[in-house]
Amino acid sequence: MLLEIKNVVKDYASHRALDHVSLSIPRGKIFGLLGPNGAGKTSLIRIINQITGPDSGEIIFDGEPLAPKHIERIGYLPEERGLYKKMKIGEQMLYLAQLKGLNKKEANNRINYWFEKLDILSWWDKRVEDLSKGMQQKVQFIATVLHEPDLIILDEPFSGFDPVNANLIKDEIIELNKKGATIIFSTHRMESVEELCDHIALINRSQKILDGNIKDIKNKYKNQTYKIELHSLTDEKSIRIENLYQLKNLEQIENKTNITIKLNQDISINQVLQSLLPLAEIHQVLEIVPSINDIFIEQVTLSNNSKKEIDHA
Amino acid sequence: MHKILLIIQREYFSRVKKKSFLLMTFLVPLFFIALYGGIFYLTKKSFKDAHAHIYILDQHGDFAPQLKSDPNITFTVSNRPLRDLKIQIKDDEQNSSILVIPKNIYQNSAIELISADKANITIQNSIARQLEGIIRLTEYKKLGIDPQVLVSVQPHINVNAKELTEDGEEKNSNTGIAMGIGVGLAILVYLSLFLYGVQVMRGVIEEKSNRIIEVIISSVKPFQLMMGKIIGIGMVGLTQFLLWIILTGGLIFLATNLLNKETVEQAAMQQGGMPAMQQTPNSGFGFGILQHLESVNVTEIIICFFLFFLAGYLLYSAIFAAVGSAVDSETEANQFTMPITMPLLLTYVLSFGVIINDPNGPIATWLSFIPFTSPIAMLVRIPFGVPTWQIAVSLIILIFTFLLVTWLAAKIYRVGILIYGKKANYKEIMKWMKY
């Protein structure tokens, strides 16, 4: 584990931002930190960045309690991002890199490397105010990873990028990860989570409600639902086999019938297929795995409802 | 420590390299020189413009030969009728008047001065003084007193104001010059505390509204950022002052050297030509300032200025930084800066009256100990001479307050810079201190 968060509590004057949150972020993985707005993600990220401190709990970075010296091993791209408007890009990069502990020469070399890589060498003497928002984001991304941090924290890294540049940045993130960087990736964009993340944690209302390997989670939440494509179904009633499954959906397109079914407990798909075989020709069987988006919505709604019940009780 | 140096460097150079900084640095001394030269030129010019040509219509007969022309007034004895003269002075291009001396001047002690425009008051006084002299002389003669004897017994007293220094020695004191320097220092400190304090606040607001703040404080502690900014901008201020002192000093030195020759010649001419005329305060203007400066301790003033400016700046800029962190825009900041700067404004206003007139009185003394007012109040008092222990105590109080305020301001700053879009009020800010 590169980073372990143990029982962290953070209170603000009027509310509790983090309520006994524990997370383990494995080394070399891309970790998705998910949650609705105001769930406490930013509070957690700020604590990891030592911008604020926890009221109680412990954070272990690479085997040691988190300390100011670790700042240089962490790169942070905040959601609310910006640069000095009047400062030249090159100077600004140098300044930010030096604040992260690089010496001037080293910083210069790395800026050159990155500017060349992203083909923006001509921006060196430009001012931030002369760049478009997307260009600024690119510069800011470079500033985040310039000091080659072991842990990169990206808060909504793709917001403000056009699809081309978003892809470019995504490739860079994957490359950095391959080189060994651990990445914490906080976002609302679920499709990029499925694409990039190995692990996720879901935070809602200051509490962690779910975490683990993304495949495990998906397996855990797939609820025995299958989509079956049948050919030339004649009798609709005949396929309602109530003791095996519930029919969730049925649609007929030309001479094809698609059904979505949820298996009853202790029933296997093979049993179902056996009973269906005499009734119709089976073209395709698909297990429906819930998307992270579905899980996200389901879990958040669930936890909100249970909270409400508690509140009402 | 290395990081705070980086921040200071950035804050310093990003400002010093600005065109507006160079402009300010070079224009302000030029402005002062222009002001100085302007005053000098105008006083000289007004001298010339005041020259009057006066026709004497002496109905009494004794006076005309005794009235003497001087650089300001040229007398011409005229025998023409008053009506003709009136027409003439109306046509005359120069500033001319008719002086009518009636027969019964000894009884009435009154004369008439008829001018095309309103008669200049200095000319009137000058004529009155000459006539008084003539009449006095005549009266003395009547009484049988020899004018020569009068001159020899006429006493003349020079007041040489000296004050005792702490070690019991006497030194020349000049209240006027101390007042001038005091007011000058009050203006300078008041303006610069404001100027640089507001720059700190703007810098904080800029970082906050740019949203760069979160990137920076993921690399450095908020306190380092705040202090780096305060120190960096403070150094900009010091650089500016040093350049001003060097430039203004150099230019004044040059100017006085050039002007002095002229002034001395002029003064000599005036005194030679018209012994009865009092020496005007205008003559020897440039020379006088340098001479008077010797009556105050310039080194002490400069050292104290830097100490009190620095300590006062640190105190106020910490508060300004806290205010900047609590708001999202400069307009929103006004509600906080007003009450904060009230003590400064109050002292500034008082320094023109109470403090200057009674620099060692209770109000001035108290104000020079209260840390929020002492940077101005003490500096106004210093040219008048303040015991060293008072300066030391005032400075120590100021420094301790600055440490305390900075500690509190840092607490507000730490929380404030991360809060967006929420209108802060005093209650809210008090809460932040406890976070």
- The answer to whether residues A18 and A55 touch, using CB atoms and an 8 Å cutoff, is no
Q: Which amino acid is at A211?
A: D
Q: Cα separation of B211 and A90, whole Å?
A: 19
pLDDT in the model for residue A278: 81
User: Does residue B272 surpass a pLDDT of 70?
Assistant: no
Is residue B274 scored above 60 in pLDDT? no
Lowest mean pLDDT among A256-260, A297-301, B247-251, B386-390: B247-251
Measured in whole angstroms, how far is the alpha carbon of residue B91 from the centre of its chain? 43
Tell me if B216 and A99 make a contact (CB, 8 A cut-off).
yes
Tell me the pairing of strands A3-11 and A16-25.
antiparallel
CB-based contact A83 B210, cutoff 8 Å: yes
Binary contact (A78, B218; C-beta < 8 A): yes
* Residue B212 with chain A: CB contacts under 8 Å: 81-84
Cβ–Cβ of B418/A52 closer than 8 Å? Answer: yes
Residue B312 has pLDDT above 60, yes or no: yes
Yes or no, beta carbons of A78 and B210 under 8 Å apart: no
Q: Does position B275 have pLDDT exceeding 50, yes or no?
A: no
Can you give the pLDDT at residue A152? 94
Beta strands A256-263 and B52-58 are unpaired
Nearest by CB to B220, from A76, A83, A99: name it.
A99
pLDDT in tens, B169-195: 555 566 777 787 888 888 888 888 888
Per-domain residue ranges of chain A: 3-219, 223-287
pLDDT < 50: residue spans in chain A: none
CATH classification number, B50-152, choose in 1.10.150.120, 3.40.190.10, 3.40.50.2000, 3.30.70.660? 3.40.190.10
Reply yes or no on whether the pLDDT at B373 is more than 60.
yes
Over residues B20-37, the pLDDT tens digits come to 888 888 887 778 778 777
Task: Tell me the per-residue pLDDT of A148-203, one tens digit each, with 9 for 90 and over.
Answer: 999 999 998 888 788 888 888 899 999 999 999 999 999 877 778 888 888 999 88
Domain boundaries, chain B: 50-152, 175-236+247-434
Pairwise pLDDT comparison (B165 vs A307), residue with the higher score: A307
Distance from A99 to chain B by nearest Cα, in Å? Answer: 6
Among chain A residues, the shortest Cα distance to B209 is held by: A82
Q: B337 CA to chain A: closest CA distance, Å?
A: 25
The answer to whether the Cβ–Cβ distance between B212 and A98 falls below 8 Å is no
The band of B362, judged by pLDDT with boundaries at 50, 70 and 90, is confident
Going from the C-alpha of B23 to that of each of A88, B17, B33, B199, B232, the distances in angstroms are: 22, 11, 15, 17, 19
pLDDT of residue B293 exceeding 70: no
Residue B151 has pLDDT above 90, yes or no: no
Provide the 10 A C-beta neighbour count for residue A174.
14
Question: Is it the case that residue B47 has pLDDT exceeding 70?
Answer: no
Provide the pLDDT for residue B283. 41
Cross-chain Cβ contact B14/A82 below 8 Å: no
Q: Do A78 and B219 touch (CB under 8 A)?
A: no
Residue pairs between chains A and B whose CB atoms are closer than 8 Å: 62
Q: Does A208 touch chain B (CB under 8 A)?
A: no
- Tell me the pLDDT band of B294, cut-offs 50, 70 and 90: low
Q: Is A41 on the interface with B (CB under 8 A)?
A: no
Tokens of B298: 């310039």
Between B111 and A112, the more confident residue is: A112
Whether residue B214 and residue A100 make contact (CB cut-off 8 A), yes or no, is no
- Chain length of chain A: 313
A3-219: CATH, from 3.40.50.10240, 3.90.230.10, 3.40.50.300, 3.30.450.20? 3.40.50.300
CATH of domain A223-287: 3.30.70
Identify the DSSP state of A122.
G
Poorest-pLDDT segment among A252-261, B84-93, B156-165, B215-224 = B156-165
Q: Which residues of B touch A71 (CB under 8 A)?
A: 218-219
Interfacial A residues in 102-161 facing B (CB < 8 Å):
140, 143-144
CB-nearest partner of B211 from A46, A81, A95: A81
Q: Which helix (H) or strand (E) holds B257?
A: helix B222-273
